[in-house]
Amino acid sequence: MRVEGGSEDRWVDDHAGPVVRPYAVTRGRARPVTGTFDLISLVTATRADAGAESGLGPEHLAIVALCQRMQSVAEVAAHLDLPVGTVRVLLGDLMARELVMVRPPRGSAGLPDESVFEAVINGLRAL
């Protein structure tokens, strides 16, 4: 819905208030400038405060604040109520500035092989 407010028009959602579309948050970018981010990649801030950095939006700062404790990419998106694609672009910006560190998910080397899972399933069925 469009609301006219004097000399300034603004877009609002009846329930959410002012709306900023995800492409506006990323400045129209659909891909991160660096890095690839799986949903379960773990993100950690490298600094306690990024407020002195110029060119960062409020969403960037929110990610740095949220990632003082390790979070997955999916958790960051959920906490900030942003699409995962948008979060990936913002994380790329933060990685380029070395404000966050992203660890890819571990491979399956630490998990037991399929025979263990099959034995557990067979044991449960036997009950």
HEC letters along 23-53: HHHCCCCCCCCCCCCCCCCEEEECCCCCCCC
Two tokens at 15? 């329930």
Q: pTM of the entire structure?
A: 0.64
pLDDT the model gives residue 44: 94
pLDDT the model gives residue 1: 42
pLDDT the model gives residue 111: 67
Residue 45 CB burial class (10 angstroms; 0-12, 13-18, ≥19)? buried
Q: What percent of the chain has pLDDT over 90?
A: 29
Q: Which of 55, 34, 24, 54 is nearest to 101 (CA)?
A: 34
pLDDT the model gives residue 79: 93
pLDDT the model gives residue 65: 93
> Torsion over CA of 105, 107, 112 and 117, rounded to 10 degrees?
70
Positions of the chain with pLDDT lower than 70, given as ranges? 1-28, 30-33, 107-111
Tell whether domain 24-126 is in CATH 1.10.10: yes
> Torsion over CA of 60, 62, 64 and 66, rounded to 10 degrees?
-150
Indicate the domain borders of the chain.
Answer: 24-126
